[in-house]
Structure 1
């Protein structure tokens, strides 16, 4: 059983000394050609979401930070994960974050790694219960976030009843209410979702389904702003080299946390 306190999560709190970026939630068609690059955040809590009509979330904070470092004035939007990938491939979105999925992003321009996250299979059980295995849930409902790639083991597990949810908050709610017997999520979804729903850490029983699920910042090969991609990639590299990205992605209470 994995303890909640040991999970790696993305948390950042930092000051920006530049003007706030322009935010939007509107639909953008493939024919839309803005004067500024469009930087999309997938509407998957806790990575990105809208609160009081303002984008919030872990990747929203990172985007602000990268925009401040590069001086790039982008139009930042929050939209569903599937539409984000579709927009990248079509060229209606210039930049976006996504977990690796060989089927959905074959031609995208990889600008660098954002996070390495474990994929967990989690159920609610009493302390001391055996770790869950995917084959334990054949014929039973298992929740997951729609459009997210969790590796081939989950993709090929046709014996389980896969129940899609729109975001991490919803999939954790399904688990808490007993609508599904287990969930497959990134570790960040577990870390953020359980406390919000009042689920005690000792009831979370998790096993690692995929040890490393890598999230990248991608650029669209059809973007009119490809000349700015190198600047963004260099700034992302700098965050890795000086340890700043790791500090932003550190759990609260850690000695490395800001």
Structure 2
């Protein structure tokens, strides 16, 4: 081999080595492991076990932006907390609550969510005090702030999801439902409940859905990457766009 050819090969060698190592390095990048509450339209599992939903899409979008593989587990609220506690997942999107603070730390606001209350037609609801003496359904384990949660004059009833809540409402087993606006209206549409079957809704409060990171996540560099990545998605309006897509065609409240 002549000297000129040898020099050309040596000059190319670092690039060839980098190309050979790149797939291996990418394969070893830590995946984004997230839990999503099984509440439509945020987290959905179809009959084949495939996961989808607004928050599932947000985490998948985050993974693509950070160049990391994504693993999303859609599960009931109580199980998502257990997954955070064990370290099986690293993050969750949810409103703050005492239960979440035991297993995770807040890592930045992601989306402003209106909590609404609604009852059957003829139910006159305009403020929290109008719920006094009524049985009000909410999803098991959720927390909608102290003004509602600590009001002893309200009879709280926990349900699996808003669909179950509406079924009980129409059967007159409960008097009202409380929950995030998209989830409540999504369940109403799914069951085919007409708007004139329900009374006027009112806004209980507006709270920030937060990114929560498991207390078992000790890799601060990785945690900082997740915080920055989610903050960038919010700043670019991409999270609002996903929520808007899943809210399209919902009944007017």
Structure showing greater radius of gyration is 2
Larger fraction in helix: 2
The equivalent of 1:100 in structure 2 is 96
Gaps of 5+ in 2: 1-29
The 8 Å contact of residues 176 and 199 in structure 1, kept in 2 or not, is answered as: no
| CA shift for structure 1 position 225 | 4.9
Residue 80 of structure 1: CA displacement?
Answer: 1.9
Other-structure match for 1:45: 40
Note closer, same or farther for the CA distance 1:247–1:49 as it changes in structure 2 (3 Å cut). Answer: closer
Determine helix, strand or coil for the equivalent of 1:237: helix
CA distance in structure 1 between the aligned counterparts of 2:186 and 2:67, rounded to whole angstroms: 31
Q: Which runs of 4+ in 1 moved over 4 A?
A: none
TM-align CA RMSD: 2.4
Using the TM superposition, give the Cα deviation of residue 204 of structure 1 relative to its aligned residue in structure 2, in angstroms: 4.0
Q: TM-score, normalised to structure 2's length?
A: 0.75
Which deviations, in whole Å up to 9, do the C-alpha atoms of 1:32-59 show, x marking residues without a partner? Answer: xxx7453111222321131121112211
Q: Size of the alignment, in residue pairs?
A: 216
Task: Write the distance in 1 (CA, Å) between the matches of 2:148 and 2:64.
Answer: 38
Q: Shift of the alpha carbon at 1:157? A: 2.1
Range moving further from structure 2, 134-143 or 79-88: 134-143
Cα distance in 1 for partners of 2:236, 2:154 equals: 44
Structure 1 residue 169 displacement after superposition = 2.1
Q: In 2, are the aligned partners of 1:142 and 1:183 still within 8 Å (CA)?
A: yes
**Cα offsets for 1:82-117 (capped at 9, x unmatched):** 222233244332111221114531573333322211
Pair 107,121 (structure 1): closer, same or farther in 2 beyond 3 Å: same
TM-score w.r.t. length of structure 1? 0.74
For 1:216 and 1:57, locate their aligned partners in 2 and report how far apart those are by CA, in whole Å: 17
Write the distance in 2 (CA, Å) between the matches of 1:104 and 1:232: 18
State the match for 1:169 in structure 2.
163
Q: Is the 8 A contact 2:116 2:180 kept in 1?
A: yes
Paired residue secondary structure (2:210): strand
**Which residue of 1 is the match for residue 17 of structure 2?**
none
Aligned counterpart, 2:191: 197
Alignment of 1:77 onto 2:73: yes
Give the 3-state SS of the residue equivalent to 1:249 in structure 2: helix
